Amino acid sequence: MLTDMYQVTMVYAYWKSGHHNDSSVFDMFFRKNPFGGEYTVFAGSEEVVRFVQTFRFKPADIAYLRTVLPTAEPAFFDFLGSLDASEVRMHSLPEGTIAFPRIPCIRVEGPLAVCQLLETTLLNLTNFASLMATNACRFRQAAGDDMTLVEFGLRRAQGPDGAISASRYSYIGGFDATSNLAAAMRHGITPKGTHAHSFVSAFTSFSDLPSRLIDGVDVVERALEVRRRLGFSSASDSELAAFVAYAQAFPDGFLALVDTYDTVNSGIPNFMAVATVLSELGHKPVGIRLDSGDLAYLSKRARSMFVAADARLGGSSALASSAIMASNNINEAVLHSLNDQGHQLDALGVGTHLVTCQMQPALGMVFKLVEIEGKARIKISQDVSKVTIPGAKDAFRLVGKHDIPILDLLVPTSESAPVPGRRVLCHHPFEEKKRVFVTPSKVIPLLVPVWIGARHEAFARAKAEAVAGDSDSDAKDAATATAGAAADAAAAGAATVAPSASGAAAEGAAAPRREGAALGHRVRFPTPTEVRSYVRAQLSILREDHVRPLNPTPYKVSVTAGLYHFIHELWSREVPIAELA
Amino acid sequence: MLTDMYQVTMVYAYWKSGHHNDSSVFDMFFRKNPFGGEYTVFAGSEEVVRFVQTFRFKPADIAYLRTVLPTAEPAFFDFLGSLDASEVRMHSLPEGTIAFPRIPCIRVEGPLAVCQLLETTLLNLTNFASLMATNACRFRQAAGDDMTLVEFGLRRAQGPDGAISASRYSYIGGFDATSNLAAAMRHGITPKGTHAHSFVSAFTSFSDLPSRLIDGVDVVERALEVRRRLGFSSASDSELAAFVAYAQAFPDGFLALVDTYDTVNSGIPNFMAVATVLSELGHKPVGIRLDSGDLAYLSKRARSMFVAADARLGGSSALASSAIMASNNINEAVLHSLNDQGHQLDALGVGTHLVTCQMQPALGMVFKLVEIEGKARIKISQDVSKVTIPGAKDAFRLVGKHDIPILDLLVPTSESAPVPGRRVLCHHPFEEKKRVFVTPSKVIPLLVPVWIGARHEAFARAKAEAVAGDSDSDAKDAATATAGAAADAAAAGAATVAPSASGAAAEGAAAPRREGAALGHRVRFPTPTEVRSYVRAQLSILREDHVRPLNPTPYKVSVTAGLYHFIHELWSREVPIAELA
């Protein structure tokens, strides 16, 4: 039921006109990379497959739909109630694939009614996931490899599972940990967190401490001594009380939020006092967190205070190497600015800008019909960027010397795949003069089967036979190719998996196990950690100018010569010629 | 478990230092209205109360937390597992209240550990809800009262329940319907939708129609005739086939998407042809949907084409009054621009910009400790806008002549409420010179009890007695006031409900029923439709300059003289004085 009303009204009209069972192919793709960049980390396919696997209207849903469509024939609701994804086949980019505009992220094949009904949910499950993974990946690029990045967005995310998705996909995109316990538990991500301002505010004096001891030593007395020795006379005692309470609970995990009263005059001195005592007792204090103010300045100031204090205390306090974490309103631009100014930060907590993708909160993934009953379909628009590329097609990444990807090529499923070492002509899909010969050293098939409905093969074969009796030979060829591909899909799994798709993804696709019970089978999906490594591996081989933050170069997505000419023939056949008078 | 890790680490530190059971008061509020406006529609309180009612860690959660905090004492996990909200009391603005910065939207009172653990979830459930309701309300203001507004955002929302929340809260904010079936079914909102481009693309010729009839008439032949008569020679036949199929399914709900091939030369002519035939057969066609291009121009062009065609057909076709709907990338600025240009639109479908709140995708709701063990707490910041207003307090809307709200006043729970007809001094919380006398004609208490834990009264009384044995008389007074209020809360419900809060909200709060089983009781919440009316009613009485889109005037939020002086005394007591050398 997580779908748009118009899917159901359309399906009713398909059913009424006898087209509900038409063999159809839909492409899901996006037209523009987000955040002013030139790449997108595709994500969400595991959730898509889990949804498809159990797709079905429940009796309560059907009862509700009867009230919504009171004029529809009763038999239609029996039909709706009988639908599932057992006749559907789905190919997808492996989760975490670096994707580009117009590449089908998911290709769905099967009966028109079911494929149409899947549209909205597929878009919902991949749009935000891909946006989020891409956003996190950009934060990681801006922060550099050595920074610990923690996702702090639960409180500002767009709803509870907006938050859980944000945690999952920011981890995939390159974050190290999350503050969100539910997401950490569900996805096996490390949870991180210490304390808030309210913890500090909750203590008013040392008398709020039932005990002043850690390992038998009066920490309050000793910390006050250290604070005096370091020369800080205006630090807050209530803050010190709170820090002592926290250190008593976590003597080996002491990370103090230092900006409740005054970062430089109170928070940092109090941290240094307690950390010094913990060190003396053999514990390893962690560091501080800054949550307001000028983070570049304060991190450098904190570091120099640590170093100065350490020197004053004889150079053995380990203070100098305390971690400095920051967490106030950090976005990609702030990261670049921190880099420009120089900083002493070891870790960042990122919330709002990360999880709501403040810079651009939606990705324009779309789901378009590209073939029906073996006939290619095109969606025309006055705006060329909105014209769809017709027909069922595969996508290949052509890789050149030094393993560097050159471009991605869309190839109709009826044409043969490009071959390493053999020259292939690659056309821009719409601009006549933009074409290039490429001789790839390696060819990576991008679309791999992720869901094969138990009855898809029979559906495709029946369709091919019906069409074979037809006069339209184009359609016949296309349908036969589709049916053939369907029949071989499971066996071909290994061959169609992107070799770069990390060991696990490859293994998963190579050995599609029967996890979907009787309705079909799906591949084993890699773990979030495996997907995360796959993202990093691809980024490291992409040409730097495609992924740089400022004015990146677009990565080429091309079509074969055959597809180029087919697009333009279909276009001129379909578009009515306007008459001006 | 939908909480931040640091809540649990803090609670462990509270437990270790014996403060977990301290009597605490937290305020949830925001500091700045979203979207450059000067008002916010508060929402999410019903979901908050549903969450609080069943708040508890499950054994599996506890098992997971043991692995996350391996150094914590085992007894702590028994304590965690025993927590629920039965000792908590919660006041909230009624859902849909027009709220302003610094007004507590929710006040939570109870044991420190539980209140602290509620923080993140409360923020998550109200931040997006309030943002969304506010956004929808702004769209409604910009669109005017006569426009039908449909939420179309499911595919672009931030995850599945991001979408369901978006539907619910955009309805509350003033939308009329949603495309999202799951949300419609759950919240009783009207679902709306017709068909997509893919439906049009799915038809290639009239031979795709198994029947050409509606009510026994050959619609194709008749529509082609009408099209010729109207002088359109370049319209697409495959599009006409699709429209006929749709009209066959919905002869009385015919709304055609007209931009698949060419809006002016094909889509509109084909719609007019089919609509004319439907009219002739006694059906009532609905209209068209525009999904690309210049919407102001196209809507005017469509209307003039309808009028011209109607004239040509003898003036009885009812074409002229066909509805024109638009749905491409509409945001608030587009609405204002449409108004400026003039348009002929009757309905709008709004997706991405509405549901992701593209203009500002997060509201900065925060949750701050304001009192502990009867002692008021303040959170200081170099940034005055981040300083919290200490102590447990109520909020009142002071209403002047003609029912127009003048300002909102924060009053410590230990002071008496303002009284209609009696002059009261209202201070800006931080600026000495900004103060004003107000003699309200009406006083609306804004915070109403929404959750009263079954054991809250006993908890508050025990705390008051403990504090009474203490020497701090300030604390004693405050705690006694709190306990007194707790004891009377259920009975006082009726008196503390905003009279403007629509009949239903008032009734709900006036009669808090035992819906929360043994752990406590909560008020009956109004339906989304009742909340929607409450929002409209408040907007209609607010001074226009507070709600206008351009350069609105901030609405005043003041404090009593007593609270003003208390804030500043506490501030100078808490802030360490820096030393410059």
Task: Transcribe A381-434 into DSSP letters.
Answer: -SSGGGPPPPS-EEEEEEE-GGG-EEEEEEEETTSPPP-TTS-EEEE-SS-TT-
Query: CB under 8 Å to A36, separation ≥6 — which residues?
Result: none
- Which of A2, A71, A574 has the CB atom closest to B182's CB atom? A2
What pLDDT, on a 0 to 100 scale, did the predictor assign at position B386?
82
pLDDT at A472 over 80: no
Find the CB nearest B123 among A155, A250, A380.
A155
| CB nearest to B358's CB, from A210, A361, A375 | A361
pTM of the model: 0.90
- Please give the pLDDT value at position A123: 96
pLDDT of res. A438: 97
The pLDDT-based confidence of A577 (bands split at 50, 70, 90) is: low
B264 contacts A3? CB cut-off 8 A: no
Residue of chain A with shortest Cα separation from B211: A17
pLDDT at A483: 44
- Tell me how far the alpha carbon of residue B361 is from its chain's centroid: 13
Count Cβ neighbours within 10 Å for each residue of A362-388 and write b for 16 or more, e otherwise: bbbbbbbbbbbbbbbbbbbbeeeeebb
| Better-predicted residue by pLDDT, B386 or B349 | B349
Distance, in angstroms, between B572 CA and closest chain A CA?
Answer: 11
Looking at residue A504, what is its pLDDT? 35
Chain A residue numbers touching B116 (CB-CB < 8 A): 198
Chain A, 269 to 298: residues with Cβ < 8 Å from chain B are 292-293
Asked whether the beta carbons of B187 and A9 are under 8 A apart, the reply is no
Q: Is B13 part of the contact surface with chain A (CB cutoff 8 Å)?
A: yes
Confidence of residue B491 (pLDDT cuts 50, 70, 90): very low
Please report the sign of the dihedral spanned by the C-alpha atoms of residue A80, residue A83, residue A85, residue A87.
Answer: negative
Q: How confident is the model at residue A468 (pLDDT cuts 50, 70, 90)?
A: confident
Q: Which residues, other chains included, contact A507 with Cβ-Cβ below 8 Å and sequence gap of 6+?
A: A524
The number of residues in chain A equals 581
The pLDDT score that the predictor gives to residue B385 is 78
Dihedrals phi, psi of A54, to nearest 5 degrees: -110, 15
Distance (Å, whole) CA B205 – CA A21: 17
The per-residue pLDDT for B517 is 53
Question: CATH: 3.40.1670.10, 3.20.20.60, 3.20.20.70, 1.20.1250.20. Which one for A137-355?
Answer: 3.20.20.70
Can you tell me the distance from the alpha carbon of A496 to that of A485, in angstroms, rounded to the nearest whole number?
Answer: 11
B221 Cβ contact list (under 8 Å, min separation 6): B212
Nearest neighbour of A193 by CB, restricted to B9, B250, B577:
B9
Nearest to B482 by CA among B553, B554, B355, B393: B393
ipTM of the complex model: 0.88
Minimum-distance CB partner of B159 among A24, A162, A249: A162
* Residue reference for tokens 């959730």: A47
What are the distances in angstroms from CA A62 to CA A67, A82, B187?
Answer: 9, 11, 17
pLDDT the model gives residue A528:
95
Q: Give the count of alpha carbons within 13 A of A320, CB side only.
A: 10
Contacts of A535 (CB under 8 A, 6+ apart): A41, A96, A98, A133, A137, A172, A173, A174
Question: Which of A565-574, B310-319, B560-569 is the most confident on average?
Answer: B560-569
Q: How many whole angstroms separate alpha carbon B371 and alpha carbon B392?
A: 6
Average pLDDT over residues B549-553: 91
pLDDT 10s digits, A314-352: 887 789 999 999 998 899 999 999 999 999 999 999 998
Asked if B114 reaches chain A (Cβ–Cβ under 8 Å), the answer is: no
- pLDDT confidence of B11, banded at 50, 70, 90? very high
Residue with tokens 């207003």: B389
Check A265 against B155: CB less than 8 A apart. no
| C-alpha to C-alpha distance for B173 and B96, rounded to whole angstroms | 8
How distant is the Cα of A352 from the closest Cα of chain B, in angstroms?
7
Domain A5-128+362-390+451-546 has CATH 3.20.140.10: yes
Q: What are phi and psi of A455, to 5 degrees?
A: -110, 10
The pLDDT score that the predictor gives to residue A499 is: 31
Question: Hey, what are A124's tokens?
Answer: 């919902």
| DSSP H or E stretch at residue A289 | strand A287-290
Distance from CA of A540 to the nearest CA of B (A): 29
Question: Mean pLDDT, to the nearest integer, of B458-475?
Answer: 75
pLDDT score of A487: 39
Q: Which positions ≥6 away from B491 have C-beta within 8 Å?
A: none
Which one of B264, B375, B576 has the shortest CB-CB distance to A235? B576
Q: Report the CATH superfamily, name and number, of domain B5-130+363-391+454-547.
A: nicotinate phosphoribosyltransferase (3.20.140.10)
Residue A498 pLDDT exceeds 60: no
Weakest-pLDDT range from A35-49, B118-132, B466-480: B466-480
Angle between helices A5-16 and B237-249 (to 10 degrees): 100
Choose among B238, B258, B259, B242: nearest CA to B250.
Answer: B242
Give A420 to chain B, closest Cα distance, Å.
Answer: 36
Q: Name the more confident of A423 and B380.
A: A423
C-alpha distance from B424 to closest chain A C-alpha (Å) = 31
Q: What is the mean pLDDT of residues B140-145?
A: 95
CB contact under 8 A, A123 and B156: yes
Of residues B135 and A194, which shows the higher confidence score? B135
Distance CA B5, CA A192 (A): 6
Q: Is A124 in the B-facing interface, judged by CB distances under 8 Å?
A: yes
**pLDDT in the model for residue B576:** 63
- pLDDT computed for residue B581 by the predictor: 59
Query: Using a CB-CB distance cutoff of 8 angstroms, which residues of chain A are in contact with residue B211?
Result: 17
Q: Is residue A566 helix, strand or coil? A: helix
Q: Which residues in chain B are closer than 8 Å to A68, comparing Cβ atoms?
A: 181, 184, 191
Whole-number average pLDDT of chain B: 89
Whether residue A245 lies within 8 A of chain B, CB to CB, comes out as yes
Chain B interface, mutation test: which of A201, A233, A254, A328, most B Cβ atoms within 10 Å? A201
To the nearest whole Å, the CA of A238 is away from the closest chain B CA by 9
Q: Looking at the partner chain, which of B158, B245, B377 has a beta carbon nearest the beta carbon of A17?
A: B245
The amino acid at residue A50 is R
Distance CA B162, CA B458 (A): 38
Q: Is A154 on the interface with B (CB under 8 A)?
A: yes
Closest by alpha carbon to B187, among B158, B155, B153, B163?
B163
Residue with tokens 């880099």: A339
pLDDT tens digits along B124-142: 999 999 999 999 999 999 9
**Bridge partners (DSSP) listed for residue B149:** B348
Residue B484 has pLDDT above 80, yes or no: no
Task: Give the pLDDT band of residue B578 (cuts 50, 70, 90).
Answer: low
Interface subset of B 287-346, CB within 8 angstroms of A: 292-293
The SS3 assignment for B406 reads strand
The Cα–Cα gap between B530 and B504 comes to 7
Disruptive mutation site among B158, B204, B246 for chain A (greatest number of A CBs within 10 Å): B158
Cβ under 8 Å to A: B residues 479-518: none
| For residues A415-441, average pLDDT | 95
Task: Report chain A residues whose CB lies below 8 A from the CB of B160.
Answer: 2, 121, 124-125, 161
Inform me whether the C-beta atom of residue B123 falls under 8 Å from chain A C-beta atoms.
Answer: yes
Q: Please tell me the distance in Å from A417's CA to the nearest CA on chain B.
A: 28
CA B42 to chain centre: 6
By C-alpha distance, which of B103, B88, B90 is closest to B42? B103
Q: Place A158 in a pLDDT band, splitting at 50, 70 and 90.
A: confident
> What average pLDDT does this structure show over A75-98?
97
Note whether A5-128+362-390+451-546 and A137-355 share their fold: no
Rounded mean pLDDT of A417-444? Answer: 95
From B204, B236, B261, residue closest to A375, measured CB to CB: B204
Arithmetic mean of pLDDT, A85-113: 97
For residue B151, report the phi and psi dihedrals to the nearest 5 degrees.
-85, 125
Q: What phi and psi, each to the nearest 5 degrees, are found at residue B431?
A: -105, 110
Contact present, A241 and B554 (Cβ < 8 Å): no
Q: Quick one: pLDDT at residue A490?
A: 37
For residue B162, the chain A residues in CB contact (below 8 A) are: 128, 158-159, 161-162
Contact across the interface for A4 and B154, Cβ inside 8 Å = yes
Q: What's the pLDDT score for residue A470? A: 61
Cβ <8 Å between B16 and A245: yes
Q: Quick check: A201 contacting B, CB < 8 Å?
A: yes
| Tens digits of residue pLDDT in A43-68 | 999 999 999 999 999 999 999 999 99
Domain boundaries, chain B: 5-130+363-391+454-547, 137-355
Chain A interface includes B8 (CB < 8 A): yes
Spatial distance between the Cα atoms of A205 and A212, rounded to a whole number of angstroms:
12
Is the confidence at residue A77, as pLDDT, over 90? yes
Contact A227, A269 (CB under 8 A): yes
